[in-house]
Amino acid sequence: MVDGAVPRFWREIPQRYNLVGNICQSCKKIYFPPREYCPVCRRKSMGKMKDITLSGKGKIITYSIIHTGTSQFEPLVPYPMAIVELDEGPRITTQIVDCEIDQVKIGKKVEIVFRKIQQDGHIGAIYYGYKFKLVDGDK
Amino acid sequence: MRDVAVIGIGITKFGELWDKSFRNLIAEAGAKAIIDSGISGKELNAIYVGSMSAGRFIGQENIGTLVSDASGFSHLHIPTVRVESADASGGLAFRQGYLSVASGMNDIVVVGGVEKMTDVIGIEATDTLATGLDQEWEAFFGSTLAAEYAMIATKHMHDYNTTREQLAQVAVKNHANGALNPNAQYRRAMPIESILRSPMEAYPLSMMDSAPVSDGAAAVILCPADKAKKYTKKPVKIIGSGQASDTLALHGRKKICTFESTVKAAEMAYRQSGKKPSDINVAEVHDCYTISEILAIEDLGFIKKGEGGSAIDKKITTLDGKLPVNTSGGLKSKGHPLGATGIAQVVEIVTQLRGDADQRQVKNAKIGLTQNVGGVGASCVVHIMEGM
Amino acid sequence: MDKVGIISYGAHIPRFRIKTEEIAKAWGKDPITISKGLGINEKSVPSPDQDVATISVEAARAALKRININPQEIGAIYVGSESHPYAVKPTGTIVGEAIRATPLLMVADYEFACKAATAGIQTCMSLVKADMIKYGMAIGSDTSQAAPGDALEYAASAGGAAFIIGNQNIIASINDTCSYTTDTPDFWRREGKKYPAHGGRFTGTPAYFKHITNNAKNLMEKLDTKPQDYKYAIFHQPNGKFPVRVAKMLGFSIEQIQQGLLCPNIGNTYSGATMLGLASVLDVAKPGDRIFLTSYGSGAGSDAFDITVTQNIKKLKKNNAPLVSELIENKKYVDYSTYAKYRDLLYYD
């Protein structure tokens, strides 16, 4: 028996692989992850939420460098974790990869990459998803 | 709604208590509170207990019943309520107990908080603390509780020039206070160097910026205020109670460096009590990390937003300062058994308002405040109390 | 042959590198002897969050960034690798989902040691020629393991490239292809085992050299061409020496193979090797340039291709994705202990 939440992960593949959020047709606010209905328009937005694919570009709002990770992430320490504000508005929490730790700064532009996020041991499934890298690379 | 008073308090030592089980701890705290209050167990109408994650730490649910059983009350068939709001479970249990007496539904209740965190090994505790985060959109991608608070610290340092030294001073102050608390996990003053040189947990927060993993329990007895003097000479009245929630994930908030849940919960409590921040004589706030205390004193209205760091420099919140904060040693030095913390804060404030705090006593403490936070500001419970 | 060819391509090489001398030091060997003997200076190393699926997705997305096609019109994806993350559950399904080509899509994963991806190109070519699909994608990518202390450890690296095959707006026409296959046990990996085994010096003459030279001669005979007719030649590169030798044996010059010879700087990316070599050539090729590509996969087989670059290469938005030279230059060195941690060589529960 595997320990993971395979159906839940599968359900979220559009979000984890392709940043599919949704937009309220009423007020045009964009949400990621997608919501059942818009918290602003509430019942007016029911049935009016439409899928939208976000560009994967954003900027760093704040960050930390994790030295004590949870069990799935210990091999990667120390690693940067950041709150990124996507160009379309929503904010997400994500790892920053492919740079030196001291290059991570508030305000820097980032873009999406595809990485392995977790795996359910050596027998269970592998969960892929988004991480982000600095747009200007190592400069 | 009628007034409610705290008539008894009980607390265990906090620490890595290898010899004590979950059941031992809550039974000990509950018994101490009942004896302190002068009631007989038979008078209890209900048991409220806060515990964040007994399911993961000891593999046990059905906690309400377990607590009643471990305390020897099963034959009374009392209603039990286990309350969860991450590490605000204790504070929320206190509010629930209070509401049940204020509404007239119950007369005498015991409210306890308990956590047994050391029966699991190291990284399992980190994983379990992370369940207070957004599991799917924060923890799944590699974030930890420390990292979320660290991101707040990074932004606070960026926006308000708060320094690592100011954060460290919070820990220094709380360890100095904890040294005077016989039940604290750490009872030794720490110089600022040992804070600043300790290994990083999540930059800019080091191990010494962080509250420890702890076992412990605390309990209080509540009764209608107009009956309180029947039981005890030093009852303490609950004059304000507030609670609020916010988005689960930090990235969903309007502001990174403000806990709206604290602001709103405090507003509720201030409004009910008719008090202002400047009326508070002593406060116990939720310093799971040093940055959390800085945020708390700002969000509770004691200090202007952004000036938390300089308030520390000005020693406003030390034991002999204008507004002593965390005289118990705070979560940092006293210990942080998650579900117990909210009740432990009440125990300290009641002790202060009774004048029983010995070397930690704040002179003329009349009005005290407790602030208990769940997760990364996802929820907050604030209570204001007054000596009767 | 009817018109068919490459319409876009993309590459991905992980950022970490380990120097040959660093590995040699760990095993008490003389670094100069090893790097000179193998013709490899350093190799690419994947981080723990990278694998064949992530590299394939990055390469595929890079290919799509360079042109304007609707990914739903990709009718087939074949991923060739020796280190697929799952033995059962195709990498192609993960790529298909990540580039939004699903669900009307043919997918299968290929295995033929280092030539799995060129086999994928041949399959895409036939599907396009048969008018069964509009576009096909062939990806070669690997994060191959080598047993610690084995000679292969200096070469086994990580990287990949993706090619989109079609019959419109072709940037490089595939004029013809042929293959040469035998049952030759030069290098293999048994089911369920972590590391491959090989026949030492047996992997040379009867394996690599025999299959490449015979296949190459076959194709040139079929097309009536000589080595001098080609601007570029790409051969499979298990180390920095073999491709130089086989080029000489066939009559190609060192100048012709230079652009496609990446092994000295990134090691042997197995199924990604000739694919990345071709991507590197296309990064600089001009219209009219003719390319001769011969892959080799142990077990054993070889696929050869005769390719001519067209005017359309000028329209390709090459700079929308990193060039192979940029991927090679974007690097950070690790030491052997970090390498061992990343490659999961340290067993712990």
User: CATH number, domain at B181?
Assistant: 3.40.47.10
d(CA A124, CA A112): 26
Tell how far CA C184 is from the center of its chain. 21
**Cβ(C49)–Cβ(C85) under 8 Å?**
no
pLDDT tens readout for residues C271-290: 999 999 999 999 999 999 99
- Show Cβ contacts of residue C326 under 8 Å, excluding neighbours closer than 6 positions: none
Question: Do residue B195 and residue B300 come from a single domain?
Answer: yes
Average pLDDT rounded to a whole number, residues B257-262: 98
Which residue type sits at B325? V
Average pLDDT rounded to a whole number, residues C211-238: 97
Mean pLDDT of chain C: 95
d(CA A40, CA B287): 33
Question: Do residue A48 and residue A68 come from a single domain?
Answer: no
Omega before residue B266 within 30° of 0, cis: no
Is the CB of residue A120 less than 8 Å away from at least one CB of chain B?
A: no
- Show Cβ contacts of residue C42 under 8 Å, excluding neighbours closer than 6 positions: C17, C18, C19, C20, C265, C266, C267, C333
Distance (Å) from the alpha carbon of A41 to chain C's nearest alpha carbon: 31
Contact (CB<8Å) B158/A61: no
**Cβ(C148)–Cβ(C347) under 8 Å?**
no
- What is the pLDDT, as a whole number, of residue C347? 63
Is the CB of residue A131 less than 8 Å away from at least one CB of chain B?
A: yes
Model confidence at A1, in pLDDT bands (50, 70, 90)? very low
**Cβ(B313)–Cβ(B273) under 8 Å?**
no
- Dihedral angle of Cα C268, C274, C277, C282, to the nearest 10 degrees: -160
Contact (CB<8Å) A128/C61: no
Question: Do residue B294 and residue B254 come from a single domain?
Answer: yes
- Dihedral angle of Cα A111, A114, A120, A124, to the nearest 10 degrees: 160
- What is the pLDDT, as a whole number, of residue A4? 61
Q: How many helices (H) and strands (E) does chain B have?
A: 14, 11
Contact (CB<8Å) B137/A131: no
In the numeric block, which tokens belong to residue B88? Answer: 């605000």
- What is the pLDDT, as a whole number, of residue A75? 87
d(CA C143, CA C132): 32
Pairing of strands C187-188, C197-198: antiparallel
Question: Do residue A66 and residue A134 come from a single domain?
Answer: yes
Name the architecture of domain C178-310.
3-Layer(aba) Sandwich (3.40)
Instruction: Please name the member of B155, B200, B251 whose beta carbon is closest to the beta carbon of A93.
Output: B251
Cβ atoms within 10 Å, residue B355: 14
Average pLDDT rounded to a whole number, residues A77-106: 97
Count the domains in chain B. 2
pLDDT tens readout for residues A21-40: 999 999 999 999 999 999 99
Which residue type sits at C131? D
Contact (CB<8Å) A92/B137: yes
Question: Do residue B94 and residue B225 come from a single domain?
Answer: yes
In total, the C-beta contacts within 8 angstroms joining chain A to chain B are 108
d(CA B320, CA B312): 13
Domain span(s) for CATH 3.40.47.10 in chain C? 5-171+313-342, 178-310
pLDDT tens readout for residues A36-80: 999 999 999 999 999 999 999 999 999 999 999 988 898 899 999
Longest CA span, chain A: 48
Residue B314 is classified by DSSP as T
Which residue type sits at C294? T
Q: Which residue of A has its CA nearest to C59?
A: A114
With a cut of 70, say whether residue A138 has pLDDT above it.
no
Is the CB of residue C192 less than 8 Å away from at least one CB of chain A?
A: no
Is the CB of residue B138 less than 8 Å away from at least one CB of chain A?
A: yes
Instruction: Please name the member of B144, B151, B252 whose beta carbon is closest to the beta carbon of A63.
Output: B151
- What is the pLDDT, as a whole number, of residue C1? 56
Question: Do residue A128 and residue A77 come from a single domain?
Answer: yes
**Cβ(C234)–Cβ(C260) under 8 Å?**
yes
Pairing of strands B367-374, B282-284: parallel
Question: Do residue A8 and residue A47 come from a single domain?
Answer: no
Question: Do residue B298 and residue B319 come from a single domain?
Answer: yes
Chain B neighbors of A63, CB-CB under 8 A: 151, 154
- What is the pLDDT, as a whole number, of residue C348? 60
Chain A neighbors of B123, CB-CB under 8 A: 70-71, 74
Q: For tokens 């007034």, name the residue.
A: B3
Distance (Å) from the alpha carbon of B118 to chain A's nearest alpha carbon: 17
Q: What is the pTM of this model?
A: 0.92
Of A30, A53, A76, which closes a domain? A53
Average pLDDT rounded to a whole number, residues C29-57: 96
- Show Cβ contacts of residue B158 under 8 Å, excluding neighbours closer than 6 positions: A62, A106
Question: Do residue B192 and residue B298 come from a single domain?
Answer: yes
**Catalytic center residues of C:** 82, 114, 236
With a cut of 90, say whether residue A3 has pLDDT above it.
no
Is the CB of residue A128 less than 8 Å away from at least one CB of chain B?
A: no
ipTM, 2 dp: 0.92
Chain A neighbors of C47, CB-CB under 8 A: 76, 97
Count the domains in chain A. 2
Q: Considering only CB atoms, which residues of chain A are within 8 Å of chain C? A: 13, 17-18, 75-76, 97-98, 100, 113-117, 126, 128, 131, 137-138
Omega before residue A78 within 30° of 0, cis: yes
Average pLDDT rounded to a whole number, residues C233-250: 97
Q: What percent of chain B has pLDDT over 90?
A: 95
**C-alpha distance from residue B184 to each of B26, B180, B319, B330 (Å):** 17, 8, 16, 9
With a cut of 70, say whether residue C269 has pLDDT above it.
yes
Distance (Å) from the alpha carbon of A68 to chain C's nearest alpha carbon: 17
Chain C neighbors of A18, CB-CB under 8 A: 97-98, 100
In chain C, where do the E strands start and end?
A: 5-12, 16-19, 42-45, 74-80, 106-110, 135-143, 158-166, 172-184, 187-188, 197-198, 232-235, 290-294, 299-309, 332-333
d(CA B157, CA B334): 26
Chain C neighbors of A97, CB-CB under 8 A: 47, 49
Question: Do residue B227 and residue B313 come from a single domain?
Answer: no
d(CA B11, CA A135): 53
**C-alpha distance from residue C78 to each of A12, A72, B32, C15, C110 (Å):** 24, 30, 70, 25, 7
Distance (Å) from the alpha carbon of C60 to chain A's nearest alpha carbon: 11
Is the CB of residue A95 less than 8 Å away from at least one CB of chain B?
A: yes
Gyration radius (Cα) of chain C, Å = 19
Instruction: Please name the member of A18, A75, A138 whose beta carbon is closest to the beta carbon of C330.
Output: A138
Q: What percent of chain A has pLDDT over 90?
A: 83
Question: Do residue A43 and residue A105 come from a single domain?
Answer: no
Mean pLDDT of chain A: 93
Distance (Å) from the alpha carbon of A68 to chain B's nearest alpha carbon: 5
Is the CB of residue B127 less than 8 Å away from at least one CB of chain A?
A: yes
- Give the domain extent around A136: 1-18+55-139
d(CA B153, CA B298): 14
In the numeric block, which tokens belong to residue B341? Answer: 């913390």
pLDDT tens readout for residues B336-383: 999 999 999 999 999 999 999 999 999 999 999 999 999 999 999 999
Q: Which of B164, B251, B289, B376 to mutate to test the interface with A (most CBs of A within 10 A)?
A: B251
Contact (CB<8Å) C53/A17: no
Contact (CB<8Å) A115/C100: no
Q: Name the class of domain C5-171+313-342.
A: alpha beta
Contact (CB<8Å) C58/A18: no
pLDDT tens readout for residues B295-322: 999 999 999 999 999 999 999 999 999 9
Which runs of consecutive H residues, i.e. helices, occur in C18-161? 20-26, 31-38, 52-65, 91-98, 116-129
**Cβ(C150)–Cβ(C195) under 8 Å?**
yes
Residues 188-227 of B with CB under 8 A from A: 199-205
Mean pLDDT of chain B: 96
- Give the domain extent around B199: 122-206+239-387
Residue B199 is classified by DSSP as P
- What is the pLDDT, as a whole number, of residue A71? 85
Instruction: Please name the member of B140, B146, B203 whose beta carbon is closest to the beta carbon of A118.
Output: B140
